[in-house]
Amino acid sequence: MTTNAERMSRVDTAWLRMDSDVNLMLIVGVWLTAPAVTLDAVRERIADRLLKYDRFRQKVVTDATGASWVDDDDFDIARHVVPERLRRRRGQSERQALQALCGRLATEPLDPAHPLWQFHLVERYEGGSALICRIHHCIADGIALMSVTLSITDGGQDPPARHGEGATADEGDWLTDAVIRPLTDFTVKAIGMYGDGVAKSIEALGHPEQSLAGSLQVARSGVQVLRDAAALALMADDSPTGLKGRPEGRKQVAWNEPLPLGLVKTIGKGLNCSINDVLLSCVAGAIGQYLRDRGEDTAGKEIRAMVPVNLRPLDEAWKLGNRFGLAPLVLPVGIENPIERVYAVHARMAELKGSYQPLLAFAILALSGLLIKPAQDLVTGLFAKKTTAVMTNVPGPAEPLRFCGAALRQSIFWVPQSGEIGLGISVLSYAGGVQFGLIADRRLVPDPQAIIDRFEPEFEKLLLVTMMLPWAGQDDGP
């Protein structure tokens, strides 16, 4: 093996081997710019900024026990930043053509002989350009990739590791002020179990007479871990709907025009719920209405979405690799009343906040990275069979950005699905708006735009009802 090889982590190895004939582990995104940018400018920018992260110069070399990162001696920026033509069928809009292109690229494997990423530039799109990015999940998770891709925007900063220091306060602001913040309880527990918390727990167990309170805390944590492990192992199948079944491996994508973040916050304040509760309620409402419009009876039905939960400190968001767990969130698609539905989502989120399930899921992925691929597929398949969708939320910058001199007017991405899951839902905040993206297998969801188009009506319905409720301090009249 090449002497400059760096061993891939067990979790990243698990993601590398999760590719299947119907689902590739590709994170796909698109930036829409105005005005247009040129291919030469994009290549120069990515070569100058992105390649400062060594991982983007490295290919993956597999062996019997796992995989390693190895420098690609044949690296060529022209292979990784390529021009793309937008082919429009008769009667098809530019947006529909771009959606078709993104769906096709989501099912096209990256060349394993070279680093597992690629940018595709459509130089002319709606008066500007469209830059499609494809990165294999083994390189990094969504939080890390957001930080890394922001480094290639105008004024973007070099990776902090190159200077031997952590992220600055400015680099972290877009995370802490974002629409959906990482669940702090999970992050704290993860840091505690990986770091000083482990040592303190062992010390408390070794000297119970010195720290009865510490021993009780460890015991309580142990009981909670066992309960959560049992809950994951015994998790029942979610409700059968037309969204579940055997995928065929062809993808379609869709997205909405951003919803105003200020109004989302207004609803959350009025209902005493989080922004996350409001957005997830709209997702559940849109999916439920889509199923009913297709003739399905959704009464009492709930679907499960696996939701990634950040397990890294926010000041390390720029680091590559995967550091997140998975929380099984049940979405009440059968509840039509918007207020009842948002409080049902709120209750389900509250149940997850005291859970170790995301950390346990992270540990399961790490262990599966030690197994041979067929055994890993059996382990990860257990989650997929009990799940309808993968849903992720990634915080983006609060202020609008520029790329190669052009305004970055819209940013969209799609999350990959594992096993036989056929639906992926992504939520991204950017420049005061909330962007929904949806990717779906054609066999299960022939028209994903039909789900996306129901998000805004569900949001407006919830906003209207919220405005009609009596608020604290409101004049009750004479």
Q: What is the DSSP letter of 153?
A: S
Top-confidence range, 236-245, 249-258, 382-391: 249-258
Whether 224 shows a pLDDT value over 80: the answer reads no
Report how far apart, in Å, the C-alpha atoms of 28 and of each of 117, 175, 219, 471 are.
10, 21, 43, 42
| 386 and 236 Cβ atoms separated by less than 8 Å | yes
Domain positions in the chain are 6-175, 184-398+417-468
Q: Where do the DSSP E strands lie in 35-116?
A: 58-63, 66-71, 81-83
Top-confidence range, 153-162, 191-200, 389-398, 411-420: 411-420
What does the DSSP assignment read for 349-384? HHHHHT--HHHHHHHHHHHHTTS-HHHHHHHHHHHH
Copy the structure tokens of residue 361: 């899921």
CA distance 421 to 426: 15
Sign (positive or negative) of CA dihedral 467, 470, 474, 476: positive
For residue range 401-433, what is the model confidence (pLDDT) as tens digits?
999 999 999 999 999 998 899 999 999 999 999
Q: What is the CATH class of 184-398+417-468?
A: alpha beta
For residue range 204-214, what is the model confidence (pLDDT) as tens digits?
433 333 443 44
Report how far apart, in Å, the C-alpha atoms of 300 and of each of 125, 240, 339 are.
44, 11, 16
Looking at beta carbons, which pairs linking 265-269 to residues 24 or more positions away fall under 8 Å? 266/463, 266/466, 267/462, 267/463, 267/466
Span 3-9, average pLDDT: 83
- β-strand 389-394 against 303-310: which pairing, if any? parallel
For residue range 26-82, what is the model confidence (pLDDT) as tens digits?
999 999 999 999 999 999 999 999 999 999 999 999 998 899 999 999 999 999 999
Position 326 scores a pLDDT of 77
Span 306-333, average pLDDT: 80
Position 200 scores a pLDDT of 41
Place of tokens 């992050």: 187
What does the DSSP assignment read for 290-327? HHHHTT---TT--EEEEEEEE-S-GGGTT--B--EEEE
Copy the structure tokens of residue 39: 């291919």
Span 343-368, average pLDDT: 76
Residue type, 457: P
**Could you tell me the pTM of the whole model?**
0.84
How long a stretch of residues is the chain?
Answer: 478
For residue range 392-405, what is the model confidence (pLDDT) as tens digits?
888 888 899 999 99
CATH number of this structure's domain 6-175? 3.30.559.10
CA nearest neighbour of 394 among 451, 437, 354 = 437
What are the two backbone dihedrals, phi and then psi, of residue 10, each rounded to the nearest 5 degrees? -65, -40
Output the 3-class SS for 103-137: HHHCCCCCCCCCCCEEEEEEEEECCEEEEEEEEEC
Span 255-265, average pLDDT: 93
Sign (positive or negative) of CA dihedral 334, 340, 344, 349: positive
Same fold across 6-175 and 184-398+417-468 = yes
Copy the structure tokens of residue 382: 């257990």
> How far does CA 125 lie from the centroid of its chain?
26
Whether 466 shows a pLDDT value over 70: the answer reads yes
